[in-house]
Structure 1
Amino acid sequence: MTDTPPPDQVADAWDALAPGYDEFITPESLRHGDVALGRVEIGPGTRFLDVAAGTGALSIPAARRGAQVVATDIAPAMIERLVARARAEGLTDVEGRVLDSRALVFPDDTFDVSASQNGVTMLPDLDAGLAEMVRVTRPGGTVLVAAFGPLPKVEFLTFLLDAARAAVPDFTGPPMDPPPPPFQLADRDLFRERLTAAGLHDVTVDTITWDMTVDSPTHLVNEVATSNPIGARLVAGLSEDQRTEVLRVLDGLLRERSGDRPSAVLHADVNVGTGVK
């Protein structure tokens, strides 16, 4: 037996998040995606695949470099917004495809670079997603995966969890054994092992720090609630009174960080792994 939801349920969950995701997550993730892509060679004519692409964190920066981009996501609403972003920038060489990351349908050895930023790591069956990314990458091509580091070093989430624990005495947060999908590659040694087991060589895993500007407690709650279905369930489980108290506590935490201003810069460790097929 498995508690993995069926693909149509997963697609519906991400579709529901797409408007908020595009508003609160993508502006920051585009900037971070641009940094991550600095680890691979991408230029005019590069055949680039973005797996579980969301609304374009890697696709848009790759297209700006001249790559021929194919972006895939299980959620149609994510792909619609990604393509709209590309067209708004005049990036015409971006194709969006609604696909399950475990069944990419492309022929073997199609792409020069296959990449995913906090996308394929949302799969409970991560190895299946990695195997597909490797399969569709040409020999000598590169696979890149960016994933969150340890939860204590992902502050946009730890600030909210700390506020919820202070405001709601019986609040427990998400189960961490095993860690939820966004954190399944938090250990860099494990990350290297998974990429190597998927068939890659010359594997490297580095840790970078994302800086995220949070304008207000409400902004932070909206970020968590739209980041993925786990965050959405976390916030949705709060009553109105509990949410009000969480916002009050968050305001204090953010002001403590920023010198009594309502906005603050939070940090998140992100592991970026690359390997050659």
Structure 2
Amino acid sequence: MTTPTKPPTTDQIRTAWDTLAPGFDRHTTPHTMQFGEQILAEAAVGPGTRFLDVAAGSGALALPAARRGARVVAVDIAPAMVERLASRARAEGLEQVRALVMDGEHLDLDDDAFDVSASLNGVSLFPDLGRGLAEMARVTRPGGTVLVAAFGPPQKAEFIAWTLGALRAAVPGFAGLPTDPPPLPFRLADPERFAAVLREAGLGEVTVRQAVMDTPFGSATELLDTIRSSHPLGAQWIAGLTEAQSTEVRQILEGMLRERSGGAPGAVLHTTINVATGTP
């Protein structure tokens, strides 16, 4: 049994993600953008699609959608994330991207304004998940698509599972991930619960399928940089290490990567992602 903790305030959430933004943009977005391209192709996002990216980070869904010709609005609660998304869009000449600072639980957007509203490991982190999903449904036109992708089980996110294993080996008493309840990134790991939550938000024709995100890591350092920048919890894990523990964790991970790749310094790790769609 775990001790209840007070949920973070909106300002605390904003500050945490603002702090992570430089590393998130450098390490996490390039990895997840390839997966974003994959699921957008399957959702038939194309020229003229009115597309909303909720909790957009620095653009793993928004930018691939714009490249496909969609008219994109991307929102995130963290101003630093929004600025990095806008900078990426400007660098690519994607003038059809509007990047806005906005709380996804309270979208300042019109009803029925989008053909597709999507979120990749974003709305699943909201303190009020049901509210976030209901807002996505509200701003999506009848017959449109709400697309939500979220992590499957932690053990099937190898970049996390491998790091947790290395931390347990190097840090006496390391607690790892809580299980009751699980951390927010894994609250939709069960496909049946995921589908039920979407239906509770007012969506119909709900489907949930599992996909695999393949992520190449060139070194243990790159892997740890990704863990550090991808979520405040990962940042806490790495920040709490002594120099000796950090060295040991890195050595363990280097060995695991080399074993996976047959002796090369880097390897591809696999992550199961639940990809759900529903219709308002």
Q: TM-score, normalized by length of structure 2?
A: 0.96
Query: Is residue 177 from structure 1 mapped to residue 157 from structure 2 by the alignment?
Result: no
Match of 1:255 among 253, 258, 273: 258
For structure 2, the 5+ residue unaligned runs are none
Q: Deviations over 1:223-254 (max 9, x none)?
A: 00000111111211212221111111111111
Cα distance change of structure 1 residues 2 and 238 upon mapping to structure 2, 3 Å threshold: closer
SS of the residue 2:100 aligns to: strand
Query: Is residue 137 from structure 1 mapped to residue 132 from structure 2 by the alignment?
Result: no
CA distance in 2, matches of 1:186, 1:64: 30
Partner residue of 2:112?
109
Partner residue of 1:44?
47
Question: How far has the Cα of 1:198 moved from its partner?
Answer: 0.8
**Structure 1 stretch 33-42 or stretch 263-272: which is displaced more?**
33-42
- 1:214-233 alignment to 2 at 5 Å? 214-233=217-236
Partner residue of 1:10?
13
For 1:211, the aligned partner's letter is D
CA contact (8 A) 1:174 1:234 kept: no
Which ranges of 4 or more aligned residues in structure 1 deviate by more than 3 Å? none
Partner residue of 2:65?
62
- 1:179-258 alignment to 2 at 5 Å? 179-258=182-261
Question: How far has the Cα of 1:41 moved from its partner?
Answer: 2.5
Match of 1:83 among 75, 86, 102: 86
Partner residue of 1:149?
152
Query: Is residue 128 from structure 1 mapped to residue 126 from structure 2 by the alignment?
Result: no
For 1:5, the aligned partner's letter is P
SS of the residue 1:139 aligns to: strand
Question: How far has the Cα of 1:2 moved from its partner?
Answer: 6.4
Question: How far has the Cα of 1:169 moved from its partner?
Answer: 2.3
Q: Among all aligned residue pairs of Structure 1 and Structure 2, give the percentage whose two residues are the same amino acid.
A: 57
For 1:258, the aligned partner's letter is S
Q: TM-score, normalized by length of structure 1?
A: 0.97
For 2:8, the aligned partner's letter is P
SS of the residue 2:73 aligns to: strand
For 1:71, the aligned partner's letter is A
CA distance in 1, matches of 2:209, 2:237: 29
**Structure 1 stretch 123-132 or stretch 54-63: which is displaced more?**
123-132
CA contact (8 A) 1:102 1:132 kept: yes
